[in-house]
Structure 1
Amino acid sequence: MSDGCCGTTTALELEQMVNGPDAGTLPVVVLGAGPAGLAAAAHLTERGIDYLVLEAGDQVAASVARWRHVRVFSPWKYNIDAAAHRLLEATGWDAPDPEWLPTGAELIDGYLAPLATLFGQRVRLGAQVAAISRLGYDRVRTHGRQDAPFLIRLRTGEELRARAVIDASGTYETPNVLGASGLPAHGEAQAIADGLVDHALPDVLGADRDRYQGRHVLVVGAGHSAATTLLALAGLPADTRITWAIRASGAARAYGGGAADALPARGALGTRLRAHVDSGRIRLLTGFFTHALRRDGERIIVISRDPSGFERSVVADRVIAATGYRPDHSIAGELRLDLDPILGSTRALAPLIDPNAHSCGSVPAHGVDELSHPEPGYYAVGVKSYGRAPTFLMATGYEQVRSVVAALAGDWQAARQVRLDLPETGVCSSSAAEAQEQRIGPATGISGGLLAAPLPLVTTGAAVTTTADGGDCCG
């Protein structure tokens, strides 16, 4: 790299920079103690690399705890990292049934919390990162940059140094807005402040039941978070009115792959959702472009304005925003990131995860090379690595961190031997779903999603779903 330039590095340059002369003198800092972050800790432990995990929340997997009532649609065998499994097994850990579909609470209690215990003081809770830079270097300076340690500043003002940073902080705290054009709808911030708009995945059948039962609830969004919430609402008494609003002209993509889905629970989610729409229990509004929200006493008026200027509105008691998530790269503003202008992932990863072409199950294996930035030693992994693509699976994140940690250990052969065996969704993109609907009618399953639903398992083997640690796909 020439001075003043921040272009993409070659594979050889990357190896030399990541494994520079001072590479072993400082710890690797991992941001986030969720599934991907703790998997990174497990691999670092096995490789004998010093590390520190910083968790902003007051408990391990704080974001997972927010949807602890939700049952994921992928069984345990896809949700446990291999290195983590080996470390836990050595302690006499009682591994869960590989075919069971765990809830968020079960993920924490049966896996993530016991795993974090193994790492002791290397996991710091309540450690919120404010910014990351290079010690003595802003984003512009180049000469000698690769030899400078990373500087991690916490909200408290404390500063830490690191040889590398693995950012597994997720996207759960940065949901997408309700506004259909990517901008907040007029009045959205005030409606949230007034408590009339809720985050995705409320505990509809449990702790939050009184907020929704007997009221008119509008759910906005077409992903698995929306589907999960809609199914939960349908389990409330019939005096609870449910309206579902999506931008698309049809719900084929939300209904998904049905019997063609390799994860039965994921396919069943869309099948059940479609049944409620067909029966009239859920009222579906298509072509709904949220433009403005206006309070009307104790209720909220949600106004749609489509691209032609046509307006219509829905009056509801509560709005649930299930519009997905986006990454927040602001803490790395002084690092040299090469982000795809559309998704916000790395530029190299974007074509592999483009939701217009891929579902969770059709994303190819990828690792350190696709996750690398012009800033050597900084990697966003897990759901944050996917930017705005809602096609993430926990198993994908585990392979990412395995590859990244192998590279940090200097084992580039292992780092580049990426393998990923994911269950197919049955419908790989919106265009595929639309083509299927034209041929045989609406699909009867669901395309990729991360979590499951807060509903009990049913006798058909179908569970329910949505999104772990941030994405809106494939858990």
Structure 2
Amino acid sequence: MRKGVEMLDYVVIGAGPAGVQLAFFMEKAGRDYLVLERGRQAGTFFQTFPRSRQLISYNRPPVPSDDAEIQMRFDWNSLLTDGDPDAPKFRNFDKDFLPKADNLVTYLDEFTKQFDLNINYETSVVNVAKSDDVFTITDQNGATYQTRNLIIATGGVPYIPDIKGIDLATDDYSTVSMNPADYEGQRVLIIGKGNSAFEVLNVIQNRAMISILMSPTSLRLAWQTKHSGHARSTLIGPLDAYQLKAINCVILDADINEIRHNGSELEVDITYSHAEGDTQTDYYDRIITCTGFKIDTSIFDDDTKPDLIIDDRFPALTNTWESENVENLYFAGTLTQGIDFQKAASTFIGGFRHNAQALFNVLEEKNHDVAMPRENLSGNPDDMARHIAKRLTMSSALFFQFDFLADVLVYENGKFEYYSGVMMDYAKERFANSELVIIISFLWGQPDNNNVLSFQRRPTREEADASVFVHPILRAYSSGEKQDEQHILEDIYGCYVPGSFDRFFTKSHGEKRLGEWHNYNQVDVIQEFVEKRIAALRKDRAA
């Protein structure tokens, strides 16, 4: 354990999955870093949350490929290890599709030990100050640590909405009892309609007299929105009881105007969201807030506090995960979700592990003159198309972080260079002066009838822009201006190179063998798009 260190390359606060992921990359690069963790081991957050002790991040031990990178597409919980075959894999710690949180804690502990990461445990940060471009971090024992680059990789604290009388709420998600017997015969109001609210509802609904889930906005289901942080089908069984009028639980869209005591009861004034201002007063025995988490800014000096967004829940960040108002203050993990709020998967390990790698690459280039990883490609459009198709098939970064992280094909200084796993907005800014930039990512479509379970597919390359499933999209830019885009026909398995998922069962599409189908509908389309953009580049240069 290092105490009272004068100056480090990096200090990371928090040894959750994001902090451990960054530590892995820094350790491998030989950087002078230190992670400060308040708990006795990594993953302290997951010793408490989720309260049900069951994760909703999927785990698939049987995977359809032996390729390590493809396997990560089916693994929402393992950290990146640059393909190290001996690295711990989460699927070896838990075999269930919906794994246990305790097993994630065990996995993270084993990961930190195997790679001998520099972590100070039982170290609570009580103050962060900045002077002359140097951060000084003070722990509970008065020891100080200094760095020019500070990364906050903590979880959050419960977010409590601004409601008159909210202090009368009996519990919040972090403290509420998960013993069903404690709710026998009670009238319970749960504020919120996210996964934590349903997690609590599933515990109490068998014993409570009635349970109400309430928030101003309508319930958003993950299978409709494609955002893994919205309400998941594994938790929303009580919806059946509501729709079939069992009346043991009710889900309401309403503003809560005030909460107050009325004898032994809690009196709640509400205004319905979709009833022309209709109001009502209800009575409850218990009120529970399940309204998500927010950043804890109490450790920061006033002049070091990051600006906040989205009801002051998340830091305002640049396209390199840096605070907008505090230079060299970076963020990793779930606190970064404000930058792609309710879109990609930055709320889950499967998403933010790739954000952490992209952040590390930015820091390496900025602070250590290590060029961002790239590959030189030949100018042959067929070779480039097959390289792109292979990345679309293999990359878990693109697959998890759809329309947020991207690969980038750039023509600069007479050569084609290929960058992998870059934030899209960062790529647009970095390559704003380049003659040809093709940004490659995934995108979800939307059916005409808004029914994701029953819709008419258009399985032809000419109508790829009507793809409903997640599918690739190529966008071409020149000197910062968008020139063209090309949708690539969806593949339900995310396979764009024949033979990559050899354990799946599809052998043909229509009259075409599988390889022919992939080449005609996907690889050839990519090649034609690349050829078209190169031709436009040559035409512009000749003009």
**TM-score normalised by the chain length of structure 2:** 0.56
Aligned to 1:358: none
Rounded Cα–Cα distance in structure 2 between residues aligned with 1:44 and 1:397: 16
Rounded Cα–Cα distance in structure 1 between residues aligned with 2:186 and 2:305: 49
Aligned to 2:215: 246
1:42-76 Cα deviation digits (max 9, x unpaired): 22122221222112345432221112533222223
Question: In the alignment, is the contact (CA less than 8 A) between 1:84 and 1:115 conserved in 2?
Answer: no
Aligned to 2:129: 133
Structure 1 spans left out of the alignment, 5+ residues: 1-23, 138-144, 350-367, 425-431, 441-475
Aligned to 1:420: 398
Aligned to 1:31: 13
Structure 2 spans left out of the alignment, 5+ residues: 1-5, 60-74, 376-390, 403-445, 455-543
One-letter amino acid of the counterpart of residue 317, structure 1:
D
2:269 equivalent to 1:303: yes
Aligned to 1:362: none
Aligned to 1:4: none
Rounded Cα–Cα distance in structure 2 between residues aligned with 1:298 and 1:220: 20
Larger displacement relative to structure 2 (413-422 or 29-38)? 413-422
State the SS of the aligned residue for 1:284.
strand
2:197 equivalent to 1:219: no
Offset at 1:413?
Answer: 1.3
Aligned to 1:3: none
Question: In the alignment, is the contact (CA less than 8 A) between 1:407 and 1:415 conserved in 2?
Answer: no
Question: In the alignment, is the contact (CA less than 8 A) between 2:238 and 2:249 conserved in 1?
Answer: no
2:354 equivalent to 1:399: yes
**TM-aligned CA distance change 1:286 to 1:42, over 3 Å:** same
Q: Share of identical aligned residues, percent?
A: 19
Question: In the alignment, is the contact (CA less than 8 A) between 2:316 and 2:323 conserved in 1?
Answer: no
1:147-186 Cα deviation digits (max 9, x unpaired): x432112244322112421101121x2x2224xxxx2432
Offset at 1:108?
Answer: 0.9
With a CA cutoff of 8 Å and minimum separation of 6, indicate the structure with the bigger relative contact order.
Answer: 1
Question: In the alignment, is the contact (CA less than 8 A) between 2:8 and 2:34 conserved in 1?
Answer: no
Rounded Cα–Cα distance in structure 2 between residues aligned with 1:290 and 1:262: 26
One-letter amino acid of the counterpart of residue 170, structure 1:
G
Rounded Cα–Cα distance in structure 1 between residues aligned with 2:44 and 2:331: 18
Aligned to 2:135: 150
For the pair shown, which has the larger CA radius of gyration, 1 or 2?
Answer: 2
**TM-aligned CA distance change 1:232 to 1:342, over 3 Å:** closer
Aligned to 2:237: 272
Question: In the alignment, is the contact (CA less than 8 A) between 2:212 and 2:252 conserved in 1?
Answer: no
Aligned to 1:465: none
Rounded Cα–Cα distance in structure 2 between residues aligned with 1:94 and 1:286: 39
Aligned to 1:108: 105
State the SS of the aligned residue for 1:269.
coil
Rounded Cα–Cα distance in structure 1 between residues aligned with 2:209 and 2:44: 31
Aligned to 1:335: 304
Aligned residue pairs, count: 362
- After TM superposition, the structure 1 = structure 2 runs for residues 340-419 of structure 1, keeping only pairs within 5 Å, are 340=309, 345=314, 347=316, 369-371=320-322, 373=324, 375-387=326-338, 389=341, 392-410=347-365, 411-414=370-373, 419=397
Aligned to 1:199: 173
2:47 equivalent to 1:79: no
**TM-aligned CA distance change 1:271 to 1:127, over 3 Å:** closer
Question: In the alignment, is the contact (CA less than 8 A) between 1:75 and 1:102 conserved in 2?
Answer: yes
1:267-293 Cα deviation digits (max 9, x unpaired): 523662421211325432523212322
**TM-aligned CA distance change 1:318 to 1:271, over 3 Å:** closer
Tell me the C-alpha RMSD between the 2 structures.
4.3
Aligned to 1:70: 53
Question: In the alignment, is the contact (CA less than 8 A) between 1:324 and 1:390 conserved in 2?
Answer: no
State the SS of the aligned residue for 2:28.
helix
Rounded Cα–Cα distance in structure 2 between residues aligned with 1:128 and 1:400: 25
Rounded Cα–Cα distance in structure 1 between residues aligned with 2:266 and 2:321: 44
One-letter amino acid of the counterpart of residue 53, structure 1:
V
Rounded Cα–Cα distance in structure 1 between residues aligned with 2:280 and 2:16: 41
Corresponding residue to 2:159 among 176, 180, 183? 176
Larger displacement relative to structure 2 (75-84 or 298-307)? 298-307
One-letter amino acid of the counterpart of residue 294, structure 1:
R
Question: In the alignment, is the contact (CA less than 8 A) between 2:258 and 2:270 conserved in 1?
Answer: yes
Rounded Cα–Cα distance in structure 2 between residues aligned with 1:100 and 1:151: 43
